[in-house]
Amino acid sequence: MGEATVKSLEGRTAASPSPMPDGDGVRARLRAPRRPRIWFEILLIGVSYWTYSLIRNAVPEQKAQALKNADWIWDVEKSLGLAFEQSVNHAVNSVTWLIVSMNYYYATLHFVVTIGVLVWLYRWQPGRYAASRTVLFATTGVALVGYYLYPLAPPRLMNGQSFVDTVLVHHTWGSMASGNLKHMSNQYAAMPSMHIGWSLWCGLIIFALASAPWARILGLLYPAATLVVIVATANHFWLDAVGGMICLAFGFTVSYCWYGALPQRLPKLVETPKPVAQGGPSPVTETATETDREAQPERLSSGK
């Protein structure tokens, strides 16, 4: 019996609290998937979007340079034989119901779908939420650098071209850079296109994580439809969409470097730690060493 007691004490001694974790341990805990807190996420998204809007609109408009850059983009697309924006703009504008629908699409789905995907991740994919959100935030953050370094006028504001501002022509509420809303937003921040950056983020996340085939198909169609909309409404060149894709690639890279995996490779759910019931086993018992476990049969046989 004395030997069993000694072994038990040895086991308890071996299970004493470990020293303070080093830097690698702290980083590992920060990177580990955890259940997001709703109040923190709402606050984070709200403050982030407010900051994004503030910085984007505070960037000097640099109208002359923005128009010059638009002419250069247009010339590049012509040299590539892919300057199709004007033809699409005129063709869709001739179908009133279609272009009006696209105006509302441009104004609303950019926010509605993105928020919807965030809510879906939070509710049903909590283990992948933080990594996916990091992709979106990093994508948006690097876009601000593009707005500052490369002011660009949208096609509808170009000089000497016949692009149609579909919001003004059809009197629909749409672009923040048209009509009475134009004074609330920087009109010359077309590169990169975050309509494409955000919609492609939504599409890829849905395609990678959704289980229903119809949802995955819709995920792929959403950014494709958004590309048609931004071109038809003359709010972007197709090269702006390429800029949005590059920003998204940067966002995925940042998330991968931090979490060590793409969102779909992370666990879907996060286990919630179970509190130790009052009167239950102590933390020392739960962290018993191999020596303590070997001693348990001997203690039982000896009546301890």
Which 3 state secondary structure label does DSSP give 125?
coil
Side-chain-facing half-sphere of 238: CA atoms under 13 Å = 19
Cis peptide before 192 (omega within 30 of 0): yes
Whether 259 contacts 31, CB under 8 Å: yes
- Tokens representing 212 are 């229903």
* pLDDT (tens digit per residue) in 195-227: 999 999 999 999 999 999 999 999 999 999 999
Instruction: State residue 260's pLDDT score.
Output: 93
Whether 155 contacts 86, CB under 8 Å: yes
Say how far apart CA 144 and CA 49 lie, in whole Å. Answer: 12
Packing angle, helices 96-124 and 213-232, rounded to 10: 140
Say how far apart CA 60 and CA 150 lie, in whole Å. Answer: 11
Beta-carbon contacts of 82 under 8 Å, excluding residues fewer than 6 positions away, are 238
Confidence of residue 45 (pLDDT cuts 50, 70, 90): confident
Instruction: State residue 30's pLDDT score.
Output: 57
Confidence of residue 54 (pLDDT cuts 50, 70, 90): confident
Q: What is the 3-state secondary structure (H, E, C) of 83-113?
A: CCHHHHHHHHHCCHHHHHHHHHHHHHHHHHH
* Count of helices and strands (H, E) across the chain: 13, 0
Confidence of residue 49 (pLDDT cuts 50, 70, 90): confident
Confidence of residue 187 (pLDDT cuts 50, 70, 90): confident
Which of 48 and 139 is assigned the larger pLDDT? 139
Confidence of residue 22 (pLDDT cuts 50, 70, 90): low
* pLDDT (tens digit per residue) in 120-132: 999 999 999 999 9
Residue with tokens 């441009």: 106
Partner residues linked to 152 by β-bridges: 189
* Percentage, residues of the chain above pLDDT 70: 71
Whether 45 contacts 118, CB under 8 Å: yes
Instruction: State residue 298's pLDDT score.
Output: 43
Average of pLDDT values for 157-178?
81
Nearest to 122 by CA among 282, 268, 277: 268
Say how far apart CA 226 and CA 304 lie, in whole Å. Answer: 72
Burial of 172 (0-12, 13-18, 19+ CB in 10 A): buried
Say how far apart CA 160 and CA 148 lie, in whole Å. Answer: 25
Which of 98 and 40 is assigned the larger pLDDT? 98
Say how far apart CA 274 and CA 133 lie, in whole Å. Answer: 27
Nearest to 107 by CA among 183, 172, 163: 172
- Tokens representing 299 are 């203690």
User: Is 237's pLDDT higher than 90?
Assistant: yes
